[in-house]
C-alpha cells in the first residue's frame, strides 16, 4: 500500500466528505505542519486530527478565531470521513498515484473506443511548469495534441504539473483531457475550445469520473474546481460551455454527446454555432428509450450543472455567526455564543443580509428578524473562503 503525504490524505478526505470551505486546497495550509507532512495511514491520521481538534484555538483576532473554529469543524468531519471503513478503503485504493493515472487513461480510452473513437495511449510527462505557450496558464493537467505539435513543436501527450498532482482530482482531469487528445487526433487543424471544453467537462470530469472515483468525489471535485466563488474569466469559459453541453445532453443524452465527439471538432463547432443562434443541433441520435446510466448519475449531473450555488460564500466570521442565527437572536447573544466581538458579529450579520441575502434584520441591525440560513447550513451549501 502506498502511503500518502498528510496533505494528500486530507485532500482525499475532502473529496469524499466535502467541505464547508470553498477553497479546501488553501485551507490545508492552515493545518499544523506535522499533519501536512505526515506519512501515515488513515487510522493514524484520524488520531492526529483528534489531537488537533483538542488543541487551543488561535484567538489573535476575531477573523483568526473564526478560522480556528471552522478548521476544527473541518478536522472533525475529516476524522469521521477518513475513519469510515468504506471510505478508508477507497482512499487506499487511490493512493498509488502512478497506477491510478494509468487506470484513468485506460478507462477513458476504453470508453471512447466503445463509441468508435480510438485513441493511442498518450505519453505522460510530469513537469515543474507547462511548456510554452501554456506556461502562463493555471492548468494542472494539459493535453498537447497534434495541432499543438504542428503549431509549437511540442511532443504530444498529457503534461501534469508536479505541485498540482493530487489523489482523485488528477485522475478526473486526466479523463477530461483524454477527450481533448482524441479530438486533436481527428481534427488537429482546428482550435480546441468552446463547446468542446463543455463536452470534455461533462463526459470526462463528470460521467467518466463517476465510474472511476464515485459520485461524491465527483460532486466535490467539480464544486472545488469550478464553483469556488472566485471569479476567473477562464473558469467562466468552462462554466458557459458546460451549460451548452448540458443542453445537448438533455435533448439527446450521452449518445448525442458522443455523436458530436465522433464527428470531430468540425461537428462540435457546427453545433456550437447553431446553439449560439438559439438552434438545438439536429442529431441522428434519439433521446427516447431507456436511460443510458443509473438514476443517481443523472441526478448528479443535474446537481453539478444546475443546483450547486457558487454565490453562497462568505467570510469565516460570517460563517461562524451563521451557526448561531435564528429569528429573534441579537448581536449580543450571538457574540456571547461565538466569543466574537459585537462589532464582528454585526459585520457578519450585515454580510449574511447584504451579500448572500439569507437573513433580514430589524431597522437597527441588532436583531435577526427572519432567516433562511438553515437550508443552506444544513446542506453544506453556505461556504466560506479562508484567509490566505
Res 387 pLDDT > 70? yes
The pLDDT tens digits for 43-76 are 999 999 999 999 999 888 999 999 999 999 999 9
Q: Which fold has domain 313-384?
A: Arc Repressor Mutant, subunit A (1.10.10)
Q: What is the pLDDT, as a whole number, of residue 226?
A: 86
Residue among 49, 50, 40, 51 nearest 92 (CA): 40
Cβ–Cβ under 8 Å, residues 201 and 221: no
CA distances for 380 relative to 18, 123, 187, 377, 387, angstroms: 8, 39, 42, 5, 19
Residue among 184, 232, 177 nearest 199 (CA): 177
Res 289 pLDDT > 50? no
CA distance 222 to 212: 14
Binned at pLDDT 50, 70 and 90, residue 229 comes out as: confident
CA distance 266 to 272: 10
As given in the structure block, the three cell numbers for residue 338 are 461565538
Check residues 386 and 215 and name the one with the higher pLDDT.
Answer: 215
Up-side HSE of residue 347: CA atoms within 13 Å toward CB?
Answer: 11
End-to-end CA separation in angstroms for the chain = 34
Which range among 79-93, 136-150, 347-361 shows the weakest confidence by mean pLDDT?
A: 136-150
Res 116 pLDDT > 80? yes
- Please compute the mean of the pLDDT values over residues 116-136 and round it to a whole number: 92
Which part of the chain has CATH 1.10.10?
313-384
Binned at pLDDT 50, 70 and 90, residue 1 comes out as: low
DSSP 234: H
- Please compute the mean of the pLDDT values over residues 310-326 and round it to a whole number: 96
Residue among 318, 217, 208, 202 nearest 252 (CA): 202
3-state class (DSSP) for residue 97: helix
Amino acid at each position: 500500500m502506498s502511503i500518502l503525504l498528510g496533505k494528500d490524505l486530507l485532500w482525499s478526505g475532502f473529496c469524499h466528505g466535502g467541505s464547508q470551505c470553498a477553497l479546501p486546497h488553501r485551507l490545508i495550509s492552515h493545518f499544523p505542519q506535522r499533519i501536512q507532512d505526515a506519512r501515515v495511514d488513515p487510522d493514524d491520521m484520524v488520531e492526529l486530527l483528534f489531537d488537533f481538534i483538542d488543541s487551543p484555538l488561535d484567538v489573535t483576532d476575531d477573523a483568526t478565531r473564526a478560522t480556528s473554529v471552522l478548521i476544527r469543524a473541518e478536522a472533525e468531519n475529516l476524522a469521521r470521513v477518513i475513519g469510515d471503513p468504506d471510505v478508508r478503503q477507497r482512499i487506499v485504493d487511490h493512493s498509488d498515484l502512478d497506477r491510478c493515472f494509468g487506470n484513468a487513461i485506460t478507462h477513458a480510452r476504453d470508453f471512447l473506443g466503445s463509441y468508435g473513437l480510438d485513441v493511442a495511449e498518450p505519453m505522460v510527462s510530469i513537469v515543474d511548469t507547462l511548456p510554452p505557450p501554456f506556461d502562463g496558464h493555471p492548468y494542472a493537467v494539459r493535453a498537447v495534441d497534434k495541432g499543438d505539435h504542428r503549431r509549437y513543436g511540442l511532443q504530444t501527450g498529457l503534461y501534469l504539473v508536479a505541485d498540482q498532482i493530487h489523489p482523485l482530482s488528477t485522475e478526473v482531469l486526466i479523463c477530461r483531457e483524454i477527450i481533448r487528445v482524441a479530438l486533436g487526433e481527428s481534427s488537429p487543424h482546428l482550435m480546441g475550445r468552446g463547446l468542446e471544453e463543455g463536452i470534455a467537462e461533462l463526459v470526462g470530469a463528470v460521467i467518466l469520473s463517476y465510474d472511476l472515483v464515485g459520485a461524491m468525489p465527483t460532486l466535490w471535485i467539480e464544486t472545488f474546481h469550478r464553483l469556488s466563488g472566485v471569479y476567473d474569466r477562464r473558469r467562466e469559459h468552462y462554466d458557459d460551455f458546460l451549460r451548452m453541453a448540458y443542453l445537448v445532453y438533455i435533448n439527446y443524452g450521452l449518445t448525442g454527446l458522443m455523436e458530436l465527439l465522433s464527428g470531430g471538432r468540425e461537428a462540435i463547432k457546427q453545433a456550437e454555432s447553431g446553439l449560439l443562434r438559439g438552434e438545438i443541433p439536429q442529431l441522428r441520435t434519439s433521446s427516447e428509450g431507456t436511460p443510458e446510466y443509473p438514476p443517481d448519475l443523472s441526478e448528479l449531473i443535474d446537481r453539478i450543472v444546475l443546483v450547486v450555488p457558487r454565490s453562497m460564500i462568505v467570510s469565516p466570521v460570517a460563517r461562524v455567526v451563521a451557526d448561531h442565527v435564528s429569528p429573534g437572536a441579537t448581536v449580543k447573544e450571538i457574540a456571547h455564543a461565538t466569543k466574537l466581538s459585537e462589532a464582528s458579529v454585526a459585520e457578519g450579520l450585515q454580510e449574511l443580509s447584504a451579500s448572500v441575502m439569507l437573513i433580514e434584520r430589524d431597522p437597527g441591525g441588532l436583531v435577526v428578524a427572519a432567516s433562511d440560513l438553515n437550508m443552506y447550513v444544513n446542506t453544506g451549501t453556505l461556504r466560506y473562503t479562508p484567509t490566505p
